[in-house]
Amino acid sequence: MKRVAFHTLGCKVNQYETEAMEELFEQAGYQIVNFNEVAEVYVINTCTVTNIADKKSRQMLSKAKNKNKDAIIVAVGCYAQIAKEKLMNDNNIDLVIGNTNKNKVVLLVEEYFQIGDKISIVEDIDKTKEYERIWISKVNDKTRAYIKIQDGCNQFCSYCIIPYTRGRVRSREMSDILKEVNTLAIRGYHEVVLTGIHIASYGKDLENTTLIELLTELNKINGIYRIRLGSLEPNLITKEFIDQLVKLDKVCPHFHLSLQSGCDDTLKRMNRKYSTSQFFSKVNIIRQAYKNPSLTTDIIVGFPGETEEEFNTTMHFINKIKFSNIHVFKYSAREGTPAAKRSDQIDPKLKNERSHKLINIQSKIREKFLSDFVNKEVLVLFEEETEIEGNNYYFGYTDNYIKVKVKSNIDLQNKQMITKITDMDKELLIGNIM
């Protein structure tokens, strides 16, 4: 039995695609082993979102070859899509697959075993019109499954290379998604997270299919307790959309709205398609419809040309919105994007200072958000068990994505339980099962 090992860099979409490729190898009779073990095949699902991601992708490809010099090294994904020539000239790499044809990875590996010659299959992503059929029937997580519903992006933000590596928007057929989720529900998975490169665009390239229609059908599937939405563009949020969404009881009140900056001038340079006033109105629509929704976001600090005044405007806006959590990123140039060509790049030391300031402000807002749940009852879907000082603790999440810890001698894994919150500790709540 041949052994195959995987390493995934980057986003949840990559994680989903790796799990799908693992299934294909298992079906073909391969044994899946840990990346640190010796294998006959190593598959590295690469990322290229920043220059640092490129470097990490190259490092992992080299690391794989060092584990077994006779192994087949496969580079797939975003970095493989954009760096085909460089990878084909690398003696450590045997097979290069871009962001299409991942569903043929086993056939291509078998072909390499037969001919022993380098293979490259990287198509022109700009001309790709069809969603690549790839699916999962199980995941490594015991409770939650990420479901890829679309690929590609038409936004062309000035800092982002993804439209050039993933192509234009391509949506997955609704029937295919429903079939996959039904299979996972039968196998005991209770939560699905819809993911993609730009899920707000789902259905725009299909006839008579919208994201809300997909959510409505998913809401009917027995065994699924929760439907969670991945990162959303603010422009998706309208009163009409939220009025329909709030009727779907399984859809979690957790909205990750990508802000990136709280300053209009910076947003314009980023080529984002909204203003801060429009964003604020979207937040109000959600908060009027849901009680205690979790609103999370991404912020890039140190974007080219960001002045002290612009950064202070962003901090003021963060205080105004009061997000339940923020992922703060220091701007990292990506070669090939308009933002990387700008001459007004920000000094790394200043980026660090601004990042720390924003994180400190957000920590205080986060603490207040969590404290509001103390002495209240919440519904928790428990995911994992950990032994701490001889006691069994279970960790899970509320529907609005707050981590909860309880001590219990009863097996709570993959169970949804009412929990009384008694205390909080940094980033999580502590409670007792009712």
Do 391 and 405 form a contact (C-beta atoms < 8 A)? no
DSSP strand E in 302-355: where? 325-330
pLDDT at residue 143 above 90? no
pLDDT at residue 275 above 90? yes
pLDDT of 90-133, one tens digit each? 999 999 999 999 999 999 999 999 998 999 999 999 999 999 99
Using only C-alpha atoms, what is the Rg of the chain?
22
Q: Which helix (H) or strand (E) holds 215?
A: helix 211-218
Residue type, 398: T
pLDDT at residue 142 above 80? no
With tokens 């980026």, the residue in question is 351
Band (pLDDT 50/70/90 cuts) for residue 139 is confident
Report the Cα 307 to chain-centroid distance in Å.
30
Band (pLDDT 50/70/90 cuts) for residue 140 is confident
The pLDDT of residue 390: 84
Highest-confidence range of 204-208, 332-336, 350-354, by mean pLDDT? 350-354
Backbone angles phi and psi of 300, in degrees to 5: -100, 120
Residue type, 290: Y
Average pLDDT of the segment spanning 322-351 = 96
Please give the structure tokens belonging to residue 20.
């799908």
Count CB neighbours of 48 within 10 A.
25
The pLDDT of residue 138: 87
Q: Which string of DSSP letters, residue by residue, matches 273-296?
A: S--HHHHHHHHHHHHHHSSS-EEE
pLDDT of 331-345, one tens digit each? 999 999 999 999 999
Closest by Cα among 241, 222, 168, 181 to 16: 181
Q: What are the b/e assignments for 291-307, b being 16+ CB within 10 Å? A: ebbbbbbebbbbbbebe
For residues 302 and 311, give the distance between their C-alpha atoms in angstroms, rounded to a whole number.
8
Residues 6 or more apart from 48 whose CB is under 8 A from it? Answer: 54, 57, 78, 79, 81, 82, 83, 161, 165, 334
User: Do 3-123 and 144-371 fold alike per CATH?
Assistant: no
Residues 6 or more apart from 119 whose CB is under 8 A from it? Answer: 94, 95, 96, 108, 111, 112
Query: Where does residue 203 fall: left (phi above 0), alpha (psi -120 to 50 degrees), or beta otherwise?
Result: left
The pLDDT of residue 73: 97
Do 95 and 72 form a contact (C-beta atoms < 8 A)? yes
Average pLDDT of the segment spanning 30-56 = 95
Backbone angles phi and psi of 104, in degrees to 5: -105, 10
Q: Strand 416-425 vs strand 428-433: parallel, antiparallel, or unpaired?
A: antiparallel
pLDDT of 400-411, one tens digit each? 999 999 999 999
The chain-wide mean pLDDT, for the chain, equals 95
Provide the residue ranges of all domains of the chain, joining segments of one domain with +. 3-123, 144-371, 377-433
pLDDT of 228-257, one tens digit each? 999 999 999 999 999 999 999 999 999 999
Query: Where does residue 318 fall: left (phi above 0), alpha (psi -120 to 50 degrees), or beta otherwise?
Result: alpha
**Beta bridge partner(s), residue 391:** 388
Q: Is domain 144-371 in CATH 3.80.30.20, yes or no?
A: yes
> In the chain, pLDDT over 70 holds for what percent of residues?
100
CATH code, residues 3-123: 3.40.50.12160
The pLDDT of residue 149: 98
The pLDDT of residue 429: 97
Do 365 and 376 form a contact (C-beta atoms < 8 A)? no
Please give the structure tokens belonging to residue 313.
């405007």
The pLDDT of residue 237: 97
The pLDDT of residue 434: 85
Please give the structure tokens belonging to residue 319.
């205080």
Largest CA distance in the chain: 66
